[in-house]
Structure 1
Amino acid sequence: MHYLLGVRIDENDLPYSDEEMAASFARVGAVNDQMKAAGIWVFGGGLQPSDSATVVRVEHGRTEMTDGPFAETKEQLGGFYVIEVDDLDAALAWSERLAEACRVPIEVRPFEGIA
């Protein structure tokens, strides 16, 4: 089963110091390597800040494009992983490793299916 592990960040708490970023990259890199070694890694990556996003909506045949997401929340999606594991318990175990490495919340969501 495929799961999305969403890395939730508060962009208002950024940037970290160079030292904090290097330590974070080292911790996260170690978990990335563990996922790849375990054969569960499908895809993953960090995202540019939410203000770089464009939202496209089509309503009644009319297309509207706006800058950034419209959500009143402190947390934004800062990155994500797609993993393939046997069940939710396995996905949660990997998300726990990521949460510890990233030191931010990880949202776990199963895919409906893969196209």
Structure 2
Amino acid sequence: MTKYLISFPSCAMQIADEDRPQVSADAHAVIREAKGAGVYVFGGGIDEDIAPVLVTADGTISAETTHLDGGFCVLEVPTRAEAERWAARIAAACRTPQELRQFGYDPES
């Protein structure tokens, strides 16, 4: 089976304050369904209060990095079509489009 990253940037979450509780409930419900279906690997939101750093091979740490924020989950499903269906369900629950990316094959996993 293949792992897929489903994610969105923080700026995409244009949700009115009064709608946030329902969006949160709907998003959590879809994730519970993915867990129940046995396809959920892990997920969460990026902690935007902690600055990212770039760590090089020699251990040098730099504040220069690309910007990544928002939320994500990783699902493991047998087909891209199934990943697209889950991404659509998550997009509907979160009220924002989701980016879908496929992880490369890892022969050691």
User: Which TM-score bucket, shorter chain as reference?
Assistant: 0.7 to 0.9
Asked if residue 78 in structure 1 is aligned to residue 79 in structure 2, the reply is no
Query: 1:48: Cα distance to partner?
Result: 1.8
Per the alignment, residue 53 of structure 1 pairs with 51
TM-score by length of 1: 0.75
Moved over 2 A (4+): 11-14, 61-64
Q: How far 1:13 sits from its partner (Å)?
A: 5.0
Bigger strand share: 1
Residue in structure 1 matching 2:63, options 62, 66, 71: 66
Q: Aligned runs of 1:19-30 on 2, under 5 Å? A: 19-30=18-29
Structure 2 gaps, min length 5:
none
Q: Give the structure-2-normalised TM-score.
A: 0.79
Structure 1: stretches of 5+ with no match in the other structure: none
The alignment-based identity, stated in percent, is: 33
Aligned residues: 106
* Pair 1:82–1:12, CA change in 2 (3 A): closer
SS of residue paired to 1:77? coil
RMSD: 2.6
1:113 Cα deviation after fit:
2.9
More off after superposition, 89-98 vs 29-38: 29-38
Q: Structure 2 CA distance, aligned partners of 1:85 and 1:111?
A: 12
Matched, 1:34 2:26: no
